[in-house]
């Protein structure tokens, strides 16, 4: 079982081609089935759009790399039609509020644990005070975009006891009526008319709490629907950290090393120009915002030079390229 942080940021290696194909970037969650459906990756052509690996094609997630059979296992956005709905839903789980069915906020989901088959085994909850706890996937009712609804065992036990209590009188009361009616068969008509009414009044009164109980149980279910108010927390990290390393290293004294550094910078400018030309004039399929909430581009708007500058300033090039059309 692996944490999400143990998977993200690992190199993706093709074991038949013997080469590195990119870096694992995010997890694509299939919330209804409670599994990781795919891993998105970032490679040298990341600005051309999202690429992903179906989790079924992952051979292993090791300590140092994610291994797959070959580069054909990597799907582009055009070939990832089966995952389009999951990409639109963009459910990350981590960062959502953890709330019980009775409307009590437990904290924030800070980590998920993933089995070898990609199933979500359990979640880690962090309270505002900093303490952590874990819930299994069986205790999670819904993995939502903003809220994760959990059902602790204590709540489940109370519900089962409450549901069992009204069941006893509902079954036994009708069974007792025929036995009481047999010895009264020879009673006068006036008394016989009164007796069944007295007996029938008892189940009617006992049935009332049985009908009220589901209403009491269903009341908490409406609370989670009104609670979600937080914005989706983006977990993608800006991809610009890797190219920055040449600038941090001191320039070598040798002339050959200096020439190689100049070539790297030139290649970086060429890639940036290609990226800008690729995005200019396209439309954004969804609204892109900076981390502080400032809108970079609205859904359906044209991608202009100003939009590109904002995206670069806010480290949102990947997210912008994923939504360009």
State the SS3 of 51-116: EEEEHHHEEEECCCCEEECCHHHCEECCCCHHHHHHHHHCCCCCCCEEEECCCCEEEEEEEEEECC
Residue 143 pLDDT class (50, 70, 90 cuts): very high
Count other Cβ atoms within 10 Å, centred on residue 72: 11
**Residue 26: strand, helix, or coil:** strand
Report which listed range, 85-94, 157-166, 173-182, 302-311, is most confident: 85-94
Residues 12 and 57 in one domain: yes
Q: Which domain holds residue 12?
A: 2-89
Q: What's the pLDDT at 63?
A: 92
pTM of the entire structure?
0.47
Residues 82 and 14 in one domain: yes
- Which residue, of 39, 56, 89, is where some domain finishes? 89
Looking at the structure of the chain, the number of domains it has is 3
Residues 271 and 318 in one domain: yes
Domain-embedded: residue 102: no
pLDDT above 60 for 246? no
Nearest CA to 218 out of 138, 103, 98, 136 is that of: 103
Domain-embedded: residue 110: no
Residues 161 and 206 in one domain: yes
Domain-embedded: residue 129: no
Q: What's the pLDDT at 108?
A: 96
| pLDDT tens digits along 149-175 | 998 763 433 333 434 444 444 444 444
Q: What's the pLDDT at 157?
A: 37
Domain-embedded: residue 56: yes
One-character DSSP codes across 109-154: EEEEEE-TTSBEEEEEEE-TTS-EEEEEGGGEEEE-SSEEEE--HH
What CATH number did the domain enclosing 27 receive?
A: 2.30.30.240
Cβ burial of 160 (10 Å; 0-12, 13-18, 19+) is exposed
- Which residue, of 89, 124, 142, is where some domain finishes? 89
| pLDDT tens digits along 96-134 | 999 999 999 999 999 999 999 999 999 999 999 999 999
Nearest CA to 242 out of 3, 5, 43 is that of: 43
**Which one is predicted more confidently, 198 or 131?**
131
Residues 211 and 290 in one domain: no
Q: What's the pLDDT at 314?
A: 79
Domain-embedded: residue 33: yes
Domain-embedded: residue 200: yes
Mean per-residue pLDDT, 280-284:
82
Q: What's the pLDDT at 31?
A: 93
Residues 213 and 248 in one domain: no
Domain-embedded: residue 133: no
Residues 248 and 194 in one domain: no
Domain-embedded: residue 278: yes
Q: Which residues of 186-212 are buried (b: 16+ CB within 10 A; e: fewer)?
A: eeeeeeeeeeeeeeeeebeeeeeebee
Residues 83 and 22 in one domain: yes
- Which residue, of 54, 89, 124, is where some domain finishes? 89
**What kind and span of H or E run contains 20?**
strand 19-30
Size of the chain in residues: 325
Contact by Cβ (8 Å): 52, 107? no
What are the φ and ψ backbone dihedral angles of 77, each rounded to 5 degrees?
-65, -35
Contact by Cβ (8 Å): 7, 115? no
Residues 208 and 262 in one domain: no
């Amino acid at each position: 079982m692996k944490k999400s942080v143990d998977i993200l940021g690992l190199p993706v290696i093709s074991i038949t081609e013997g080469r590195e194909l990119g870096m694992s970037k995010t997890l694509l969650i299939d919330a209804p089935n409670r599994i990781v459906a795919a891993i998105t990756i970032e490679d040298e052509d990341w600005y051309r759009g999202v690429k992903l690996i179906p989790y079924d094609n992952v051979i292993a997630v090791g300590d140092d790399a994610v291994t797959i059979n070959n580069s054909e296992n990597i799907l582009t956005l055009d070939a990832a039609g089966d995952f389009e709905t999951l990409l639109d839903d963009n459910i990350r789980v981590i960062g959502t509020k953890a709330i019980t069915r009775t409307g009590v906020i437990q904290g924030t989901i800070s980590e998920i644990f993933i089995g070898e088959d990609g199933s979500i085994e359990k979640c880690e909850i962090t309270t505002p005070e900093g303490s952590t706890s874990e819930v299994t996937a069986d205790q999670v009712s819904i993995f939502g975009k903003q809220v994760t609804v959990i059902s602790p065992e204590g709540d489940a036990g109370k519900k089962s006891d409450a549901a069992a209590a009204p069941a006893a009188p509902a079954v036994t009361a009708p069974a007792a009526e025929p036995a009481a009616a047999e010895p009264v068969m020879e009673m006068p008509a006036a008394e016989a008319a009164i007796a069944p009414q007295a007996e029938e009044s008892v189940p009617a009164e006992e049935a009332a709490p049985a009908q009220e109980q589901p209403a009491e149980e269903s009341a908490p279910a409406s609370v989670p629907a009104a609670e979600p108010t937080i914005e989706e927390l983006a977990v993608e990290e800006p991809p610009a950290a890797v190219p920055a390393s040449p600038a941090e290293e001191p320039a070598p004294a040798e002339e050959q090393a200096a020439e190689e550094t100049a070539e790297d910078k030139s290649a970086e400018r060429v890639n940036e120009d290609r990226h800008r030309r690729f995005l200019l004039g396209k439309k954004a399929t969804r609204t892109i915002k900076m981390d502080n909430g400032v809108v970079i581009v609205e859904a359906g708007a044209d991608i202009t030079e100003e939009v590109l500058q904002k995206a670069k300033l806010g480290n949102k090039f990947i997210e912008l390229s994923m939504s360009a059309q």
